[in-house]
Amino acid sequence: MPSPTTAAETDQPLTEREFAGLMASLAPFEAAPVLAVAVSGGADSMALALLAASWTRRRRGRVHALTVDHGLRPDSRREARQVGRWLRQRGLRHHILPWQGAKPDSGLQAAARDARYALLTDWCRRRGLLHLLTAHHLDDQAETVLMRLARRSGLAGLAGIPAATPRSGVRVLRPLLSVPRSRLHATLRRRRQAWLEDPSNNDRRFARTRARAALAELCDTGVDAGAFAALSRTAAQASVDADARLARDAAAAVRLSPAGFAEVCRPWWQAATVDARRDLLAALLRTLGPGVYPVRRARVERLLRVMLAVDRGQWTLAGCRVLLQPEAILLCRETGRLPPPIILHPGTERLWDRFRVWLARDRQPSRSLPTPPYAVGALGPSGWRQVRDQVAFAPPAAVRPALPALWSGSHVLAVPHLDYRRADRGLRTPQFSAIHAPAQAFVPALRRVV
């Protein structure tokens, strides 16, 4: 990606030619690209939407602008509609995605971020769109790196926000990471386009607001957003090298099961360096657990110190169980942190825990089926008691309770990872599948540093 702009250029609008160069660094795209753009209505995302619209029109493509209404403020729906009116006046398609359901009492910002990405990527995936653009820019990058410095993050954290991230089958692209906020404001002023101001941006309760204020003070000493961006690029290159080492270690030491658990070869573990063990453990916890973001480095290192001091034991961290055994280290889901069951209708696909679950539509209506509704949830101890005498093989005991199972009332109908389908006389269980689909791959795709 092009280098950050100089101070003399920070008030200049971003040109369409410059934006085309930024998009080229994120290629490939289709001949007539169809893009989704996340648009909150703030200056950054409004500028991105207009620039992306011009870019796609030149290529005979189109843009869908997506606004997530979190419903956290009384005016949120009205503001989302205002964004839609502005964008439709510019010839853009606009869609409002509401965040429905109960909101958590704590960790609201993180929950809102996770819900936002889930809504955006699900909308894209269901319509076959491969590319989702977000408006993260140079100042966002600097604030992120500063916050991660404060948390003593490792290389992956200090690498900051990546320019491209695969997420639920969608490429999340951030073409503006080298562009300062002031240039995006100038872009909208040049185009005479209004935008919304989010009052939470000035709320000192939020870590990002405090980081923004700290960064402004650091600028007086010459440590500006560009300096943090340079640090992030250095850390990103080192992180890429670490990912390559992780890939080699994973090939040598890890058996990752489609049933959502992993085993690490104990001889490799004993011979590996502390850094290699820490990175492998962190990657497995992120893949197997319920979270989207990496487990904090300090928590992984704390667990690692305990594991290195004993020959065997078991612990929980980040929604996972970690069992140190004589021949292997077993990592699997912590049953107490599993989500509740979900209803699954025939012919539909949903996400439960880290599994994409699907139930076939009945094509032989004359055959008897179990009584709906059908639910997908953890097998649990009671489910295992129902099926244990009818399965030819089973994963380790610690893994079984967390396996995804299809239920009808209190009866287990199918457990794909045990190759089990209920087959009572005259009763046919519909076809059910559960594919392990973590939010992040265990070994990340090797990246280019741009």
Residues 14, 137: Cα–Cα separation, whole Å: 12
3-state DSSP: the chain helix, strand, coil percent, rounded to 5? 40, 20, 40
Rounded to 5 degrees, what angle do the CA atoms 392, 396, 402 make?
A: 100
CATH: 2.60.40, 3.40.1130, 3.30.1490, 3.30.465. Which one for 257-336? 3.30.465
Picking from 390, 423, 421, 417, the residue whose alpha carbon sits closest to that of residue 401 is 417
pTM of the model: 0.64
3-state secondary structure of 355: strand
Domains 7-233 and 257-336 share a fold: no
pLDDT category of residue 131 using cuts at 50, 70 and 90: very high
Domain locations along the chain: 7-233, 257-336, 341-436
In which residue are the tokens 């197997």 written?
288
Q: Give 179 or 160, the one with higher predicted confidence.
A: 179
In sequence order, the β-bridge partners of residue 377 are 405
DSSP letter, residue 273? -
Q: Which has the minimum average pLDDT: 60-69, 218-227, 251-260?
A: 218-227
Sheet strands (E) in 182-274 = 254-256, 262-265
DSSP class of 304: H
Task: Tell me what pLDDT residue 203 has.
Answer: 66
Joined tokens for residue 372: 């709906």
Of 209-218, 276-285, 297-306, 335-344, the least confident: 209-218
Q: Is the pLDDT of residue 446 over 50?
A: no
pLDDT score of 447: 47
Give the model confidence (pLDDT) of 380-420 as tens digits.
999 999 999 999 889 999 999 999 999 999 999 999 999 99
Distance CA 240, CA 259 (A): 28
The SS3 of residue 205 is: coil
Please state the separation of Cα 235 from the chain's center in Å.
Answer: 21
| pLDDT-based confidence at residue 7 (cuts at 50, 70, 90) | very low
> Is residue 297 pLDDT above 80, yes or no?
yes
The reported pLDDT for the residue numbered 334 is 96
pLDDT, position 145: 87
Percent of the chain with pLDDT over 90: 63
Select the more confidently predicted residue: 47 or 448.
47
Average pLDDT estimate for 234-253: 85
Minimum mean pLDDT range among 85-94, 132-141, 187-196, 360-369: 360-369
* pLDDT of residue 365 exceeding 80: no
- What integer is the mean pLDDT of 286-301? 87
Q: Are 140 and 217 in contact (CB under 8 A)?
A: no
Distance in angstroms (rounded) separating the CA atoms of residues 403 and 410: 16
Over range 365-381, report the average pLDDT: 78
CA distance 158 to 123: 30
From first CA to last CA, the distance across the chain in angstroms is: 4
* pLDDT averaged over every residue in the chain: 88
More confident residue, 213 or 403: 403
Q: Are 190 and 16 in contact (CB under 8 A)?
A: no
Lowest mean pLDDT among 66-80, 146-160, 358-372: 358-372
Q: How far apart, in whole angstroms, are the C-alpha atoms of residue 268 and residue 252?
A: 8
pLDDT tens track for 168-183: 889 999 999 999 999 9
What pLDDT does residue 372 have? 73
**Fold of domain 7-233:** Rossmann fold (3.40.50)
Give the pLDDT confidence score for residue 13 in this predicted structure. Answer: 96
Other residues' Cβ atoms within 10 Å of the Cβ of residue 206: 14
pLDDT of residue 128: 93
d(CA 96, CA 285): 34
Two tokens, residue 163: 């320019």
Judged by DSSP in three states, 105 sits in coil
Q: Report d(CA 37, CA 29) in Å as an integer.
A: 15
The pLDDT tens digits of the residues spanning 303-355 come to: 999 999 999 999 999 999 999 999 999 999 999 999 999 999 988 999 999 99
Burial of 60 (0-12, 13-18, 19+ CB in 10 A): exposed
